[in-house]
Amino acid sequence: MSGNEEFYTALRKLISFRSVLSAAKPEMPFGEGVYSAYRYFMDLAEKWGFETINYDNYMGEIVYGEGEEIGIIGHVDVVPEGNGWHSDPYTLTEKDGFLFGRGLGDDKGPMLAVLYALKALKESGKKCSKKFRLFVGCDEESGWRDVEYFSRKYKFPTYGFSPDGNFPLSYAEKGITIIKFYLPALKGFYGLTGGTVVNAVCGYASVKIKGFNEMNKSQREEEKRRLAENKLTVTEDGVIESVGKSAHGSKPELGVNALKPLFEYFLSKGEDVGNVIDYLFNDKGGLKNLENGQGNVTLSPDLAEEKDGGIILTCDCRIPAPLNTSDVEKIIKTFGLKYTLSIKHPPVMVGKDTELVEKLLKAYNFVTGENAAPIAIGGSTFARVFEKGCAFGAEFPAEDAHLHEPDERISIENLEKLIDIYKTALFLLAE
Ligand SMILES: [Zn+2]
């Protein structure tokens, strides 16, 4: 830990706050834990001689330099620790060359590394040609209400990066559009329900068979046999269950959608769901062919419910820039299904040849000795608050940092590297 003692002392303290969202209190919109971590971070910045702005404890800003604005955004809130830790989640613990603690990689460690880099820049006395605006988020993990509060009155800079993703650097993030398809009620089934959230592949779905109780034994046996052929099971009271495998909405190909076998069964029983299977599950419309060289459009029917005498299938649709929702809608229109769509986030893309991307990548490659190129991702990071935003770190490609899991960790070697990367990046940008 040579040379960076001040960083580690501050990190130990920052990790010690259990900054998990809790009930709001006066002046503490996200509860006491988040407030304490936030206050500590802002006080530290003031102690290190920075100008700070407090947006009513929803978000903070730390400012340095004069010139073209570069935004940086991360957060000090964390997800709950959960079970299964081998050390106290809120005590920075060293073991076998690793540090452990909730928030080490997401996102307290990286945020502190950025502040520490700003401090080094300031103390170097070098002329700084940029105005760095470091935004300290407090609600990234729970609903982005910090961003919403700030955006009501103020504007983020156009260009910026977030140390809340992965190295080397993602220059593009897919947009998210939520599409709801409205189907008429089924003739032979009722009570269809499936999925938990729209951004996760439906891992479990169920539906009830109409008139199951009136069936005689042999009819029930016949139904069971046909269901088994479709890899479905039925309970004693006529509930068909389908088990798939959940996966993140940005990567539906990693999951198994539990709704698909149900709809295939509906079709085999004469229900009018052919279009649903063809277009929503088998991509007959060719949405996958819409791509930007780094990724393609995905459509995942993740939620099913019965409402107002019909069925609503809610789909998570991810769209890579420079494509947008209207490109997708041209295809959706041909499905012959009633739908509505709402744009959650438009796709984001920073030009690969912008000064920001070039210098950040140069810093990464300089410190690691790699020759990495920028990547595009399907997920969504804090970087999207900037119109031209990129995620830059802090998880290394070959690292298993256990983010959002027990034993969140980073190797000391990588932590030293990331401190160095952010320092190098800010010095390059300041030139
Ligand atoms: Zn994060």
141 Cα: distance to centroid of ligand 1 (angstroms): 6
pLDDT of 321 higher than 70: yes
211 Cα: distance to centroid of ligand 1 (angstroms): 49
Buried b (16+ CB within 10 A) or exposed e, 304-315: bebeeeebbbbb
160 Cα: distance to centroid of ligand 1 (angstroms): 16
414 Cα: distance to centroid of ligand 1 (angstroms): 18
Rounded to an integer, what distance in angstroms lies between the CA atom of residue 253 and that of residue 309? Answer: 31
Highest mean pLDDT of the ranges 171-175, 194-198, 323-327, 337-341: 337-341
- The residue among 306, 325, 345 that closes a domain is 345
Buried b (16+ CB within 10 A) or exposed e, 192-201: bebbeebbbb
Higher pLDDT: 132 or 171? It is 132
Strands 159-162 and 68-75: parallel
360 Cα: distance to centroid of ligand 1 (angstroms): 19
CA 366 to the chain's CA centroid: 28
112, 71: one domain: yes
**pLDDT-based confidence at 59, cuts 50/70/90?**
very high
Per-residue pLDDT reduced to its tens digit, 140-185:
999 899 999 999 999 999 999 999 999 999 988 888 999 999 999 9
What is the residue type of 287? L
341, 219: one domain: yes
Neighbours of ion ligand 1 (CB under 5 A): 106-107, 164
* Interval 211-221 mean pLDDT: 90
Rounded to an integer, what distance in angstroms lies between the CA atom of residue 118 and that of residue 169? Answer: 20
- The residue among 345, 377, 395 that closes a domain is 345
12 Cα: distance to centroid of ligand 1 (angstroms): 18
37 Cα: distance to centroid of ligand 1 (angstroms): 15
222, 327: one domain: yes
Which CATH number fits the domain that encloses residue 64? 3.40.630.10
Q: What percentage of the chain reaches a pLDDT higher than 70?
A: 99
CB-based contact 144:30 (threshold 8 Å)? no
Half-sphere exposure of 37 (CA within 13 A, CB side): 32
Q: Look at the chain and report how many structural domains it folds into.
A: 2
110 Cα: distance to centroid of ligand 1 (angstroms): 10
CA 166 to the chain's CA centroid: 12
* Interval 357-362 mean pLDDT: 96
Sign of the CA dihedral with 97 first, then 101, 102, and 103 last: negative
Rounded to an integer, what distance in angstroms lies between the CA atom of residue 26 and that of residue 373? Answer: 46
* Interval 365-392 mean pLDDT: 90
Per-residue pLDDT reduced to its tens digit, 289-311:
998 877 899 999 999 999 999 99
Rounded to an integer, what distance in angstroms lies between the CA atom of residue 316 and that of residue 179? Answer: 7
- The residue among 300, 329, 345 that closes a domain is 345
41, 120: one domain: yes
CB-based contact 343:305 (threshold 8 Å)? no
165 Cα: distance to centroid of ligand 1 (angstroms): 7
* Interval 273-287 mean pLDDT: 96
Residue with tokens 């040849």: 353
List strand residue ranges (DSSP E) for 148-307, in order: 159-162, 165-166, 170-173, 175-184, 189-194, 204-209, 233-234, 239-243, 298-307
pLDDT of 278 higher than 60: yes
Residue with tokens 């604005």: 69
392 Cα: distance to centroid of ligand 1 (angstroms): 12
DSSP conformational letter for 57: T
Residues paired with 162 in a beta bridge: 391
167, 233: one domain: no
341, 353: one domain: no
221, 241: one domain: yes
209, 305: one domain: yes
Q: At 73, is the secondary structure helix, strand, or coil? A: strand
199, 164: one domain: no
172 Cα: distance to centroid of ligand 1 (angstroms): 17
127 Cα: distance to centroid of ligand 1 (angstroms): 31
**What pLDDT is attached to residue 288?**
94
Residue with tokens 């004469």: 270
157, 187: one domain: no
* Interval 118-127 mean pLDDT: 96
169, 185: one domain: no
334 Cα: distance to centroid of ligand 1 (angstroms): 38
77 Cα: distance to centroid of ligand 1 (angstroms): 8
What count of residues does the chain have? 431
pLDDT of 1 higher than 70: no
Helix (H) or strand (E) segment spanning residue 327: helix 325-332
76 Cα: distance to centroid of ligand 1 (angstroms): 8
* Interval 409-419 mean pLDDT: 96
pLDDT of 2 higher than 70: no
140 Cα: distance to centroid of ligand 1 (angstroms): 6
Per-residue pLDDT reduced to its tens digit, 67-85:
999 999 999 999 999 889 9
323, 231: one domain: yes
36 Cα: distance to centroid of ligand 1 (angstroms): 18
427 Cα: distance to centroid of ligand 1 (angstroms): 24
Q: Which domain holds residue 292?
A: 176-345
Sign of the CA dihedral with 57 first, then 62, 68, and 69 last: negative
pTM of this prediction exceeds 0.85: no
Residue 325: name the closest of 200, 179, 198 by CA: 179
Rounded to an integer, what distance in angstroms lies between the CA atom of residue 81 and that of residue 407? Answer: 9
pLDDT of 3 higher than 90: no
